[in-house]
């Protein structure tokens, strides 16, 4: 699933090894550039200069821009894989999932770029399908075997759609909003709120 930066087959370590410093700088620079300009608007040369290195250092690691984009996302998500289902309560699990996904993508401003890439030509989309499938899997684990198994895929689509909307709008919804969305998806009653509150 993850796009590792190396493609050397099994050579134990011939010649000078790659510097992790360079790789890290590239991923950070790429992240910033993609967040600012989107997949197509980002310029490889700019990423290289920002990382104080050269284009070739990029192409030695990733075959093309699309793959770099994917790797940068991977990097951003590293350590922030969706927490696995706790299986305590579907509502709590979903709530944490939604909150977490929105958190990491708005923090890095990658939301729009992420959605844009999902809507791109298949070749680009394919790179992110892995991520999506990952999310779907996690959500399935949260719902399977519960009372909410019925219409599971549609529930999942609703959750993912809701996340996408927040990413596109670059808007972090309030706790109550997330809670409401989750309750609706699960077919529970939405939480009470004082009258007059929307």
Binding site for a copy of itself (CB under 8 A): 37-41, 111-116, 118-121, 150-155, 157-158, 160-168, 173, 177, 180-181, 184-185, 187, 189-190, 193, 198
Residue numbers at the binding site for DNA (CB under 7 A)? 8, 11-19, 22-23, 42-45, 52-57, 59-61, 63-66
Compute the least distance from the CB of residue 68 to DNA, in Å. 7
Using the minimum distance from each CB to DNA, give the nearer residue, 56 or 174.
56
Q: Which listed option, a copy of itself, DNA, none, makes contact with residue 96 (CB within 5 to 8 Å by class)?
A: none
Compute the least distance from the CB of residue 34 to DNA, in Å. 11
How far apart are alpha carbons 134 and 150 in whole angstroms? 21
Cβ–Cβ under 8 Å, residues 39 and 65: yes
Compute the least distance from the CB of residue 112 to a copy of itself, in Å. 4
Using the minimum distance from each CB to a copy of itself, give the nearer residue, 50 or 109.
109
Compute the half-sphere exposure of residue 72: CA atoms within 13 Å on the CB side of its CA: 30
Q: Which region holds residue 187: left if phi is over 0, alpha if psi is between -120 and 50, else beta?
A: left
First to last CA, the chain: 41
Q: Which listed option, a copy of itself, DNA, none, makes contact with residue 118 (CB within 5 to 8 Å by class)?
A: a copy of itself
Using the minimum distance from each CB to DNA, give the nearer residue, 124 or 159.
124
């Amino acid at each position: 699933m993850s796009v590792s930066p190396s493609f050397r087959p099994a050579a134990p370590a011939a010649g000078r090894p790659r510097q992790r410093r360079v790789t890290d700088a590239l991923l950070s620079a790429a992240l910033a550039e993609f967040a600012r300009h989107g997949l197509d608007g980002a310029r490889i040369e700019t990423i290289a200069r920002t990382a104080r290195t050269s284009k070739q250092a990029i192409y030695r690691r990733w075959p093309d821009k699309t793959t770099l984009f994917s790797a940068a996302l991977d990097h951003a998500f590293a350590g922030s894989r969706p927490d696995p289902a706790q299986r305590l309560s579907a509502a709590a699990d979903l709530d944490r999932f939604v909150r977490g996904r929105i958190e990491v993508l708005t923090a890095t401003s990658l939301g729009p770029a992420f959605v844009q890439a999902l809507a791109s030509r298949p070749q680009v989309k394919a790179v992110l399908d892995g991520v999506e499938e990952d999310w779907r899997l996690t959500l399935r684990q949260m719902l399977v075997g519960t009372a909410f198994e019925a219409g599971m895929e549609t529930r999942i689509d609703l959750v993912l759609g809701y996340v996408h909307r927040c990413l596109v709008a670059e808007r972090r919804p309030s706790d109550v909003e997330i809670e409401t969305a989750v309750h609706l998806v699960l077919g529970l009653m939405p939480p009470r709120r004082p009258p007059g509150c929307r």
